[in-house]
Every structure is written in structure tokens, then in C-alpha cells.
Chain A
Amino acid sequence: MKLSPATKNGIKLVTGNRTVRACLIILSGVLLLSLIGPFASRHSVEAINFDESLISPTFTDGRVFGTDDLGRDLFVRTMQGIRLTMAVAVVATLVSLLIGVTYGVIAGYAGGKLDALMMRLVDGLYAMPFIFFVILLMVVFERSMLLIFVAIGAINWLDTARIVRGQTLSLKRRAFVDAARLTGVPSMRIIFRHIVPNLMGVVVIYITLTIPQIILFESFLSFLGLGVQEPQASLGSLVSGGVDSMEVAPWMLLIPASFLALILFCFNFLGDGLRDALDPRGDAT
């Protein structure tokens, strides 16, 4: 049994490209740590204890990351923040992908007036200051995690839609689609058998490029105090808390900030590596 080119490429990428491999390992390590870390610690997320506030990182008593100004354990809070950040990222990315790919495939395959209309709409939406709209949304409605997921996902689909539409359009012009139509293959089958499988490469790249954008956005909101609410924590809200007390407790800033930067690094490198590897013209460094 021979593997499909997409699968084979995927395997080759993961094993072949050093950057991609390193990023995947680091990301899964961080994720794993955030999932099991809190169970290994004796401290809870919410327990406030003013007697133990602002302990700098130490190995005694399991306070590896120290505590914050309210005496909460920073290790557990950071791990919880990573989980939340990643969860928002994954769900919002799926939302954005679902909208983007569907929109792009429909516009690209339909072509003509519908396509022109749909793309004019996207152009128009590009010019909107979305971040401010989401903030407006957060102001007007009760803040909820669900709203954050959906709002962030719903504004990040424009790039995906554009690229998917472009790819669909160019695939549709290729002769194999004509050949299938001539034979009498139904449209739905053409879309799912001939077009969608060839979009996978682009979609994978866009997943890795969308995730860091969404992480950035969520932490931006949380930093401003418009995202997740206490006692829940995301990396953004932890950085925000760290800024307030960075002069007395720099670890409160530096630890969550480093994790945030590390995760963003890895996703960006991953997306970059994948794009280079999937693009035949890409320069191999």
C-alpha cells in the first residue's frame, strides 16, 4: 500500500525538517506540562494566601515559579494559563478554518458574480478595525469564554478564505476538473474528491499561521482586562498582572511572558518551516 503524497509529505516534513521537528517537540512538551503539571503540584489555582505572597522562584515547598501578590502559586496559574490560551487558540482556529474554507471554496468554485460579490465583502471587511469591534462586543455584552472563542475565530477567517478561494479557483481551471465534469462527475463529488484534498497543504499552513495570531489576540484582550476574568487566568492576563508588579516581582512578568513568547515562536517557526517545505520554490535554509 502506497501512501498518498500528502501523507508522505507530512511524514517527511516532521522527520526531515529540523526546525519543524524541534518546534513540534517543544510545543507538545509545553502542552503536556500544562496538562499534567497542576496535578503534580500541591498548590491550587485559586487559593489566596497573603502570608505567602511574592515568594520568588525557589525549589523549597514546590514553589518553582514563586507566587504572586496574592500568594497564589504561579506555576499552577501559568500552567492553567497555557491550557486556556491553547484551548482558545484551537477552538478559535477551528471556527476560523470552518468559515474560511467553506467561504473560500464556495466563492472559488461558484465563480462569476457570486464570487465577485463574496470577495468584495471580504475586501470591505479587511478595512474594518476588527480588534476594536471585538472590544466593543466585550463591552456591550457579558464577557464569556464562548464569546471570546467565537468572536476571535469569526474575525480571523479572512486570510484563509482569500487563499482557499484563490487555490480553488486555480484548481478549478486545471484540466482535471474539466475532465471530471465531462465525464459527468457531480459537483459535490468534484469538490470533495478533486478540490478539497488538494487544499490540504494550504490549510495546514494556515492553521499554523492562524494559531499564533489568535493567541496574540486573546492575550491582548486579556492583557487589557477585556478577556478572561479572574480567578481564571490566561497568559495575557498573567503578563498584565506581572506588569503591575514587575519592579518588585519581575518573575511575575518574565515567566508567563517567556511561555507566551516560546509558544508563539514555535508556531511561527512551524508555519514558516511548513510553508518552505510545501512550496517548491521556497528556499531551503
Chain B
Amino acid sequence: MSDLRIRYGGCEAPAVDGLSFSLGASDSLGIVGESGAGKSQTALAIMGLLPDTATISGSIKVDGTEVVGASKQTLRQLRRQTLSMIFQDPATALNPYLRVGAQLDKILRMRPGMSRKAAAQKSISLLERVGLPDPEKQYRAFPHQLSGGMRQRALIAAALIGDPALIVADEPTTALDVTVQAQILELLRRLQSEMNTALLMISHDLGVISQSAQNILVIDKGKTIEEGRCTEVFSSPQHPHTARLLEAAPVIDAELPKNPARSDDVLLDVQDITIGFRERRGWRHRNFVAVDSLSISVNKGEVVAVVGESGSGKTSLARSIAGLLPAQHGKLQLLTNRLPWQVSERSKSVRKLLQMVFQDPVSSLSPAMRVAQILAEPLTVHQTAVGIDDMQKAVADILRRVGLDADLKDRYPHELSGGQAQRVAIARALIVEPSLLICDEALAALDGSVRREILALLKTEQERSGLSILLITHDLGVVREISDRVVVMFQGKVCETATNEMLFASPQHDYTKKLLAAVPRLARRVA
């Protein structure tokens, strides 16, 4: 496999602009870049899957066969025998209307001489090969009955049919939890060595690339900016953008943060909280416990991180404390006030003390309101600023504080970038001068470098005003960089509480160890 050269002009700016690389048989290459860098476009181009609206030029040769401008037949042959692709979201990449087995069988049955029975047997053995427990059961299951990791395994099984010479994996683990991610990466590594396949791994996550590829290609705005062996690029990046990417990647061995504002007075005290949902499954009602008699406290000026994977109940906990999700049992105390579960029953002065920043910056701002209106609303409600002049001054002040240009006040949310929108959301929370800020995955939707800036902003604000932060996250890198104390949640319970330092230095609970081990680390050449 040699001389992969892609270039295509889109509408205004080309999505991929003169990209060239080659990948030898049974080699692995990682392509890394921020969102919009053209990674996925490249993957689709290799598969010949670009939409008709894209114009493509240049040349992509796979095993000597030209992909660009290839006929339907050629492409189909390639996809059956040489190329395979694994997509980002296993939830949508499988047909929800067909059983997993039927989908695999269909691909197998295209091969000459493959009987129905032989196809079924082959499918089950493939499912077994990708490590699915009870493959016969999964063969008969519908995709919605499988977990995310299992679906991705099933898709990998589909990709293995036809012994491909190249597997293109486009962010295969982004939608998965970190421990599942580690398993999938492990599986890919194993299969790659067993089958002598070449692997093209596309990811925004340097850690993932480092775990799965020997070589790396860093791209930005559709252009190659750096390539080389992973270990070398990671230890001595040549291009400033690569250096920035590396710096922005939160790493769990970063220096411990200092927090002068921390005090020993308790601000928030949560006792024995239990949150359950009544879930309808078919016609039966089933009670599902998201958070199971959990206690947690936050001191004044302290940053407490709650870490856990999806389904651990961390978001339910955050929403319950905020008063957006009533709990069945427990006690909530903020300073001397006992807080009711419903936000609507809390007094205005109490509501002011507790604010929240959400995951998706765009949906957390009202689309029909301007930035200034969004920021002024809390002032009107709490009557902290009276009169237009006061209001305008307060808005201008807060914008400056969160590092935004004053001109942005007349914009609508959709006219802001993700980072700007998240700053506005933080500004809206800070404008009432709260004592506790709950950040629910507030950094998860942002790109590396922007995430870094927002993290820095939170840190500054926290130190400046002695704010307490309850940080809900799945990202141990973020935890390392900002928190004082860490609470690890698993299946609705706390499995470990420790200081930042202790948690990373000597984790106690098995789950914490597993979690820490699963975080993809950058393999650097030892200097």
C-alpha cells in the first residue's frame, strides 16, 4: 500500500488540502487533529464514501487500486476484500431494525458458495473472536439490546469479514467510556497483530493514537503539519501546533494544582442522598436507582471533582443538588440552609448561591436571546442591578471578567464559537456571585486548546472569589489539573474519596485502579 495522496476542494475552504501519506502493509498510522481538521473526510475518501457534494482530486491507491474516481464495482470489490471501516458511533452504525446476526450474514452471503448455515456459523465465530460473551445470544439480539462496547465489537466483527488489508477506524472509541475504550483498543491491537492488517486510526485524542499506532500524522485545516514515529513526535514536537495539542491534552501526571482559597468550613453537605427513576420496560415498571445513599460535602473555596463513567449517577447527583431532579431520600444543606429538592421551592437568596454550567455550551444559551439579554436576566430576577445603566455596566464587567470582547453582547448564541458560548454560560452563572458552581461535564464538548483556556478561566475565577466548584467529569486529566479532592463514583455509589495527590499516587479501590489504568497515556521516548 503506497502513495496515498488526497486533495479535494470543497466550497470555500477545502476540507482536506493536499494531504499525502503512505502506510505500509501491517503498519499502523494515527491521524490526529482537532475537530474540523479534515480527519473524517480523509477516512471517508479512502473508503470512497464521500457525499456527491464533495469534489475530490488527487489520488488514493490501496494495494495498487485507484480509489479516486473508481467505478462502483471496483469500490465494492475493494470494500469486500481489502478495506474495512469502523465508525465513531456504534449506536447508529448498526441497523436498529435487523438482528446483529442477520447483518453479518448478509455481508457473508455476498461471497460465492456461502450457504445460509455456513454464514451463520461464521458470524457466530466472528462474534466470538471479537470477544463478545455468549456469541450465539448476541447473534440473535437486536442492536438496542447491546451495550455501546458490545455494538462496537459487533461492528469490528463485520469489519473483519474478508480479511481486510487495511482497517480505517474513525474515532472508534470516542463514544465509549474510558474502561471500555481501553478494551476496544486492546482488541484492535490484538487483531491487527494476529491478522497482519494495516490500521489507520483517526482520533482527536493523542492518548488513543499513542496506544494504537506506531506512526502519527498531525493535521490541521486539511494540511499535514507534522509526521513521524509517535514516540518521537510526542517527546520532541517540531511544529508549534503539535506542541499546543500536546500541551492541551490533559494528562494525569500533570503537576498538582495549588489552591490558596480552600478553607475548612463546610459549604455544601449532602447526606444519604438516593435518587431513583421509575423506568418503564415493556409493561412492567422497574425502579432504577441512579444514586444510592451517597454522602458528599464541599468546603468553602474547595474544588471537588466527581469522576465516573456513564451510568455512574454523577450527573443525576449534580442535577439533584441543583434542584433540577428530585431525590427520594436524603438531606441537602447549604451553609445553614436546608435545601428543598425542587428548585422552585428554594428561596431566591439561596438560589443565588448555587449556579451551574452545563455540558453543551450551545444548548445552554437561549437561542432567541442576545448575549446581553441572557446575562441581564439573572440581574432582573434578583434585582441586583436596577436601571439600564447599572445593568449595562454589570454585563460589560462580567464579559471582561470571562475574557470576552464587549462587542459580543449583541450577538445571538448561534453566532458564537463553542468556547465563547461556554464563557457566556460561565458569565451567566457568575453574574449573581454564587458560592458554589456546579460544572456538569462543562469541558467535555470543547476541543483541546479551548478546554485548556476554559479550565484556566475556572481556576482564576475560583481563586479570585473563593468560589467552591463541584466538578462532574469523566476526564481524569481535568480532575488532576484542577481539583483538591476527588470522589470516584461507580454504579450510584462512592467507591473512593481521596485528595488529588493520594488518588493518583496510591488508588485504593479496584475500580479506581482500573479507571486509572484505562486512561491512554502518551508513550514518550525516555529522554
User: Number of B residues whose C-beta is below 8 Å from A?
Assistant: 35
Given A4-B412, A179-B425, A179-B428, also A184-B382 (CB < 8 A): yes
**Does B272 have its Cβ within 8 Å of any Cβ on chain A?**
no
Contacts of B319 in A (CB 8 A): 178
Determine how close the nearest CB of chain A comes to the CB of B506; give it in whole angstroms.
Answer: 37
Contact indicator per residue, chain A 171-211, by CB within 8 Å of chain B (1) or not (0):
00011101111111111000001100110000000000000
Q: Give the nearest-CB partner of B363 in chain A.
A: A174
B69-77, B287-295, B351-359: which lies at the interface: B351-359
A5 touches which of B351, B354, B377, B414 (Cβ 8 Å):
B414
Given A182-B343, A182-B356, A184-B381, also A175-B364 (CB < 8 A): yes
Contact indicator per residue, chain A 46-60, by CB within 8 Å of chain B (1) or not (0):
000000000000000
**Does A6 have its Cβ within 8 Å of any Cβ on chain B?**
yes
Q: Are B356 and A178 in contact (CB under 8 A)?
A: yes
**Does A2 have its Cβ within 8 Å of any Cβ on chain B?**
yes
Contacts of A5 in B (CB 8 A): 367-368, 412, 414
Determine how close the nearest CB of chain A comes to the CB of B108; give it in whole angstroms.
Answer: 34
> Using a CB–CB distance below 8 Å, which chain B residues touch chain A?
319, 322-324, 343-344, 348, 351-352, 354-356, 358-360, 363-370, 377-378, 381-382, 410-412, 414, 425, 428-429, 432
20 contacts between A and B (CB under 8 A): A2-B410, A5-B368, A175-B360, A176-B365, A176-B367, A178-B322, A179-B356, A179-B364, A179-B425, A182-B323, A182-B343, A183-B351, A183-B377, A183-B381, A183-B428, A184-B381, A193-B366, A194-B366, A197-B368, A197-B369
Determine how close the nearest CB of chain A comes to the CB of B319; give it in whole angstroms.
Answer: 8
Contacts of B351 in A (CB 8 A): 182-184
Given A2-B410, A182-B322, A184-B351, also A176-B381 (CB < 8 A): no
Q: Are A176 and B354 in contact (CB under 8 A)?
A: no
User: Number of A residues whose C-beta is below 8 Å from B?
Assistant: 21
Given A4-B412, A185-B381, also A176-B366 (CB < 8 A): yes
Tell me, in angstroms, the Cα distance from A187 to B381 when the chains sit together.
12
Contacts of B366 in A (CB 8 A): 176, 180, 193-194, 198
Interface hits, A1-59 → B, CB 8 Å: 2, 4-6
Tell me, in angstroms, the Cα distance from A5 to B363 when the chains sit together.
16
Q: Give the nearest-CB partner of A8 in chain B.
A: B412
Tell me, in angstroms, the Cα distance from A139 to B245 when the chains sit together.
76
Contacts of A180 in B (CB 8 A): 366, 377
Q: Are B355 and A176 in contact (CB under 8 A)?
A: no
Contacts of B425 in A (CB 8 A): 179
A176 touches which of B324, B344, B363 (Cβ 8 Å):
B363
Contacts of A194 in B (CB 8 A): 366, 368-369
Given A5-B414, A179-B356, A181-B344, also A174-B378 (CB < 8 A): no
Q: Give the nearest-CB partner of A170 in chain B.
A: B363
Q: Are B368 and A198 in contact (CB under 8 A)?
A: yes
Contacts of A193 in B (CB 8 A): 366, 369, 377
Q: Are A183 and B368 in contact (CB under 8 A)?
A: no
Q: Which 5 A-B pairs have the closest CB atoms?
A: A175-B358, A175-B364, A197-B368, A174-B363, A183-B378
Q: Give the nearest-CB partner of A199 in chain B.
A: B368
Contacts of B343 in A (CB 8 A): 181-182, 184
Determine how close the nearest CB of chain B comes to the CB of A115; give it in whole angstroms.
Answer: 14
Q: Give the nearest-CB partner of B370 in chain A.
A: A2
Q: Are B358 and A179 in contact (CB under 8 A)?
A: yes
Contacts of B363 in A (CB 8 A): 174-176
Determine how close the nearest CB of chain A comes to the CB of B88; give it in whole angstroms.
Answer: 19
Indicate the member of B348, B378, B410 with the most A CB atoms within 10 Å: B378
Q: Are B410 and A182 in contact (CB under 8 A)?
A: no
A183 touches which of B359, B410, B414, B432 (Cβ 8 Å):
B432
19 A-B pairs besides A179-B428, A182-B343 with CB distance below 8 A are: A5-B414, A175-B363, A176-B363, A176-B367, A178-B364, A180-B377, A181-B344, A183-B351, A183-B432, A184-B343, A184-B348, A185-B381, A187-B344, A193-B366, A193-B369, A193-B377, A194-B369, A197-B368, A198-B366
Q: Are A176 and B364 in contact (CB under 8 A)?
A: yes
Contacts of A179 in B (CB 8 A): 356, 358, 364, 425, 428-429
Contacts of B411 in A (CB 8 A): 2
Indicate the member of A2, A181, A198 with the most B CB atoms within 10 Å: A181
Tell me, in angstroms, the Cα distance from A185 to B319 when the chains sit together.
17
Q: Are B355 and A182 in contact (CB under 8 A)?
A: yes
Tell me, in angstroms, the Cα distance from A182 to B381 when the chains sit together.
11
Tell me, in angstroms, the Cα distance from A5 to B411 when the chains sit together.
10
Contact indicator per residue, chain A 99-136, by CB within 8 Å of chain B (1) or not (0):
00000000000000000000000000000000000000
Q: Are A181 and B324 in contact (CB under 8 A)?
A: yes
Contacts of B412 in A (CB 8 A): 4-5
Determine how close the nearest CB of chain A comes to the CB of B185; give it in whole angstroms.
Answer: 31
Contacts of A186 in B (CB 8 A): 381
Contacts of B428 in A (CB 8 A): 179, 183
Tell me, in angstroms, the Cα distance from A18 to B475 when the chains sit together.
49
